Amino acid sequence: MKRSNPSLYESTLTNLPLPTFFLSRDLRVRIWNEHAEALFGWKFEEVDGQLPPLIHPEDIVFTETLWFSFLEKQETLHLKNVRMLAKDGTLFRDIELSPVVEDGLVIGAVFCCLPERHRRDITSKPVFQELIDLRTAFDETANVTVFDAKGTITYVNDLFSRLFEYRPEELVSQSWRSLLPSEAKELPAIRDSLKSGNAWSGKVDVLTRRGVVKQIQATLIPLRDIYDVPYQFIFIGIDITEKVRHERQLNFVANHNELTGLLNKRGFLDTGEEMFDLAGKENPIAFLLFDLDRFKVINDSFGPQIGDLLLTSVAERIENHAEDAIICHPGGDQFGLLISSHGHESAFRFTRKLQQALQRPYYINGHTLFITCTFGIALYPSESTTLFELYRRAELALFAGKAIGAGTIQYLTEEMDTTYTRKVQIERALFTALDEHSFHLHFQPIVDLKDKRLAGFEALLRWRHKELGDVPPSEFIPLAEAAALIIPINNWVLLEACDQLKKWHETIDPGLTMAVNLSPQQFQSETLMRTLQLIVKEGRIKPASLILEVTENVAMLRTKETVERMRLIKSLGFRLSLDDFGTGYSSLQYLRAFPVDELKIDKVFIDGIDQNDSALLDSIIHLGCSLGLNLVAEGVETESALSYLEQTKCQQMQGFIFSKPLSAEQVEQQYASKKE
Ligand code: C2E
Ligand code: CA
Ligand code: CA
């Protein structure tokens, strides 16, 4: 039986490789597939619209009762005892009966005669019911088509035919492959799936009637017969053309400069990756980064519109000049080019020519504009291991070039490279330093100026790396700050210093203090507060013996929050000290607002003593005293400075003249023994 656009179940039934027929509510035969013809011996024409001729006369009453209860219950029935009669008199049993429901009403039932082999492993889910489930799930939301093993379409739903701009009857009986462009790269995978009978899922391009390509997210489900041979395929597709276009658009925006449409930094690092990977000794490349000198002046005097037009013209000139380059416009007035280039000379020649082209006058809206540009160049192969590093090196070179002057073409020098390489190495090594236990502390004694009695120590962080050697804190602490590693590191310092002090309270002097440096990030972090609370809770040391040093710049950063945080720390019993006092931005009058206990007067003021310039030192000491703060002179190196300080009201000092920072062992040797 054929209709112009058979519904999904009709086409499925007709193609089901089992003897199958459909009875409408009035028990009339409506569908009778060819396997049913073969099994029962009646042709469709003979049974069409009739009562099924195969119910055993003795079972008729029973069957009718059964039928009505079936219509009521809408459940699949497995009839084992109803005898079916073929045309030649053969008897059959074992029939599966599935309701076909439309709009909540049973419109009929499907009868499947289960073959011998299938009978044993029949599952609770009847064969036909699965297909019906699929239909309801997908028919309304997706583009569905069914084709047979030969690829001939036997069913299309409305959405599917609409998508392809055909009428359903034009598609049925066609080969489904005609809907795919012949060069579709997914074809081999799909073919494999068809052959093997495995489901396939992926994106595929299809061709509509008018030849428009649409992107479909598709799933191809093979239905296998009882011999495991696929006899039918259901293709379920969602049209994602719009979504893909939208994604592409978003992707473009994310990877390109809005103004010029050139790649932005992110897009460049992505796109340039391949060229970088292919580059090497035989195939050297160079990355040029440049910006326009005094672009801001042009922008300010001619307006941003002219500024934008100028940038667009610059972009055009680069594109005309360097067709093979990967060009980027990371932002502002900065542009970059990745070119293949044989060494310094060739890169320089290229750059010089480009610079000349870019520096020719621009005629924009009646204005004649002149620009110069400064270049930074980094070559590869070199120390760089990634395009990102090459980019950063060009940035360094450009930065150095800007310092020299407008119009400079600056290579990355070996010195810049060494500095940079070391920076990268340190950054990398810092990540594992805590785990590798490569940090330790040194302790610099702080003494009372009057009687030179040991008052306490300042804990100073030391790092010995297995390859980099001893790295001074002035070098790695800013990098640890930048990489957000400083908080865990400083936390370790805090706890380590506490443990050490606890020991020395027993072996040296219970009155000793320990000063610990807090980084700006750490000062603002919640971790610090938790660690301090832990120290109090566990009773590791008396909080008053711990002095937390913050630089005055930290104190000035966010005054209100800072004061609050300081109060909180003080309420736990810890003492606070302003480090490097006098070098920052704080004005002296602010000092009153901060609840600190101590000022550490920076070394520059102490050095002033020997240069006969102690006016500032005097006023700091005066101010500190009037606020009742403990004053510590830092970096005292000379006898003369020491004797000067002894005459002032400064109470304590710390410096090489008394002692350099010491290891814990050295401290114990020097002080623990003295006590005995
Ligand atoms: P700072 O807090 O001002 O520490 C004093 C620095 O001056 C120390 O350098 C110390 O060795 C040095 N110094 C002491 N007396 C003299 C002297 O008489 N003459 C000279 N020329 N120098 C003297 P260091 O250990 O290299 O530390 C440098 C900076 O690193 C410290 O300056 C501090 O800002 C930071 N730092 C050290 N340890 C830590 C830490 O655990 N955490 C944080 N956040 N920063 C730390
Ligand atoms: Ca300090
Ligand atoms: Ca200091």
Statement to judge: residues 167 and 290 lie in one domain: no
Dihedral sign, Cα of residue 403, residue 408, residue 414, residue 416: positive
Statement to judge: residues 398 and 322 lie in one domain: yes
**Which of 87, 115, 133 is the endpoint of a domain?**
133
208-226 tens-digit pLDDT: 989 888 999 888 888 777 6
Judge whether 432 lies within some domain: yes
β partners of residue 549: 517, 577
What percent of the chain stands above pLDDT 70?
90
Statement to judge: residues 154 and 284 lie in one domain: no
Enumerate helices (H) and strands (E) in the chain, giving the number of each: 28, 28
Q: Sorting pLDDT into bands at 50, 70 and 90, what band is 12?
A: confident
| Whether the CB of 68 sits within 6 Å of ligand 1 | no
| Whether the CB of 461 sits within 6 Å of ligand 1 | yes
Question: What pLDDT is recorded for position 484?
Answer: 83
For residue 262, is pLDDT > 90? yes
Statement to judge: residues 103 and 76 lie in one domain: yes
| Whether the CB of 477 sits within 6 Å of ligand 1 | yes
Of 483, 528, 512, 564, which is closest to residue 672 (Cα–Cα)?
Answer: 512
Closest-approaching ligand to the CA atom of 577: 2
Q: Sorting pLDDT into bands at 50, 70 and 90, what band is 144?
A: confident
For residue 95, is pLDDT > 80? no
Q: Give distance in angstroms: CA of 349 to centre of ligand 2.
A: 51
Q: What is the CATH number of the domain that holds 538?
A: 3.20.20.450
Judge whether 421 lies within some domain: no
Question: What pLDDT is recorded for position 254?
Answer: 93
Statement to judge: residues 247 and 279 lie in one domain: no
Structure tokens at 229: 């041979």
Q: Other CB atoms closer than 10 Å to residue 100's CB: what's the count?
A: 22
Closest-approaching ligand to the CA atom of 601: 3
Statement to judge: residues 449 and 587 lie in one domain: yes
For ligand 1, atom 27, the nearest C-alpha belongs to: 473
CA–CA separation, 481 vs 489, rounded Å?
Answer: 10
Judge whether 416 lies within some domain: no
| Whether the CB of 239 sits within 6 Å of ligand 1 | no
- How are strands ordered across the β-sheet holding 143-148? 153-156, 143-148, 230-239, 213-224, 200-207
Position with higher pLDDT, 2 vs 286: 286
Q: Which of 266-270, 415-419, 589-593, 611-615 shows the lowest mean pLDDT across its residues? A: 589-593
| Whether the CB of 373 sits within 6 Å of ligand 1 | no
Question: Which residues have beta carbons under 5 A from ligand 3 (an ion)?
Answer: 579-580, 634
Q: Give distance in angstroms: CA of 547 to centre of ligand 2.
A: 10
Q: Give distance in angstroms: CA of 592 to centre of ligand 3.
A: 20
Position with higher pLDDT, 85 vs 159: 159
For ligand 1, atom 10, the nearest C-alpha belongs to: 661
Statement to judge: residues 465 and 598 lie in one domain: yes
As for how many domains the chain has, the answer is 4
**Which of 70, 102, 133 is the endpoint of a domain?**
133
| Whether the CB of 551 sits within 6 Å of ligand 1 | no
| Pairing of β 439-448 and β 454-465 | antiparallel
Q: Give distance in angstroms: CA of 352 to centre of ligand 3.
A: 48
Query: Which residue has 């971790």 as its token pair?
Result: 527
**Which of 133, 162, 183 is the endpoint of a domain?**
133
Question: What pLDDT is recorded for position 99?
Answer: 78
Residue 442 alpha carbon, nearest atom of ligand 1: 25
Long-range contacts of 51-60 (CB under 8 A, 24+ apart): 51/27, 52/21, 52/23, 52/27, 53/85, 53/87, 54/84, 54/85, 54/86, 54/92, 55/82, 55/84, 55/85, 56/82, 56/83, 56/84, 56/85, 56/91, 58/83, 59/83
Question: What pLDDT is recorded for position 197?
Answer: 75
| Whether the CB of 490 sits within 6 Å of ligand 1 | yes
Q: Which of 61-65, 160-164, 658-662 has the highest mean pLDDT?
A: 658-662
Q: What is the CATH number of the domain that holds 383?
A: 3.30.70.270
Residue 522 alpha carbon, nearest atom of ligand 1: 44
Q: Give distance in angstroms: CA of 605 to centre of ligand 1.
A: 16
Position with higher pLDDT, 92 vs 535: 535
Statement to judge: residues 608 and 463 lie in one domain: yes
Statement to judge: residues 108 and 198 lie in one domain: no
Q: Which of 155-159, 214-218, 630-634 has the highest mean pLDDT?
A: 630-634
Statement to judge: residues 101 and 160 lie in one domain: no
For residue 590, is pLDDT > 80? no
Q: Which of 37-51, 327-341, 602-616 shows the lowest mean pLDDT across its residues? A: 37-51
Judge whether 415 lies within some domain: no
Q: Sorting pLDDT into bands at 50, 70 and 90, what band is 138?
A: low
Q: Give distance in angstroms: CA of 661 to centre of ligand 1.
A: 9
Query: Which residue has 């939301």 as its token pair?
Result: 141
Judge whether 417 lies within some domain: no
Question: What pLDDT is recorded for position 60?
Answer: 60
For residue 205, is pLDDT > 70? yes
Judge whether 75 lies within some domain: yes
CA–CA separation, 531 vs 491, rounded Å?
Answer: 7
Closest-approaching ligand to the CA atom of 493: 1
Which structural domain, as residue segments, surrounds residue 330? 260-406
List C-alpha distances in Å: 628 to 80, 449, 586: 103, 17, 18
547-563 tens-digit pLDDT: 999 987 777 777 788 89
Q: Give distance in angstroms: CA of 460 to centre of ligand 2.
A: 8
Position with higher pLDDT, 377 vs 120: 377
Q: What is the pLDDT averaged over residues 433-440?
A: 91
Judge whether 420 lies within some domain: no
Statement to judge: residues 539 and 401 lie in one domain: no
For residue 299, is pLDDT > 60? yes
Q: Give distance in angstroms: CA of 552 to centre of ligand 3.
A: 10
User: SS3 of 440, please?
Assistant: strand
| Whether the CB of 661 sits within 6 Å of ligand 1 | yes
Q: What is the CATH number of the domain that holds 242?
A: 3.30.450.20
Q: Sorting pLDDT into bands at 50, 70 and 90, what band is 123?
A: very low
| Whether the CB of 445 sits within 6 Å of ligand 1 | no
Closest-approaching ligand to the CA atom of 461: 1
| Whether the CB of 440 sits within 6 Å of ligand 1 | no
Q: Which of 76-85, 144-153, 278-287 shows the lowest mean pLDDT across its residues? A: 76-85
Q: Sorting pLDDT into bands at 50, 70 and 90, what band is 61?
A: low
Q: Give distance in angstroms: CA of 604 to centre of ligand 1.
A: 14
For residue 287, is pLDDT > 50? yes
For residue 122, is pLDDT > 70? no
For residue 121, is pLDDT > 50? no
CA–CA separation, 445 vs 447, rounded Å?
Answer: 6
| Whether the CB of 408 sits within 6 Å of ligand 1 | no
End-to-end Cα, the chain, rounded Å? 112
Question: What pLDDT is recorded for position 230?
Answer: 79
Judge whether 514 lies within some domain: yes
Q: What is the mean pLDDT of the chain?
A: 86
Statement to judge: residues 335 and 444 lie in one domain: no
Q: Sorting pLDDT into bands at 50, 70 and 90, what band is 142?
A: confident
490-503 tens-digit pLDDT: 999 999 999 999 99
Question: What pLDDT is recorded for position 13?
Answer: 76
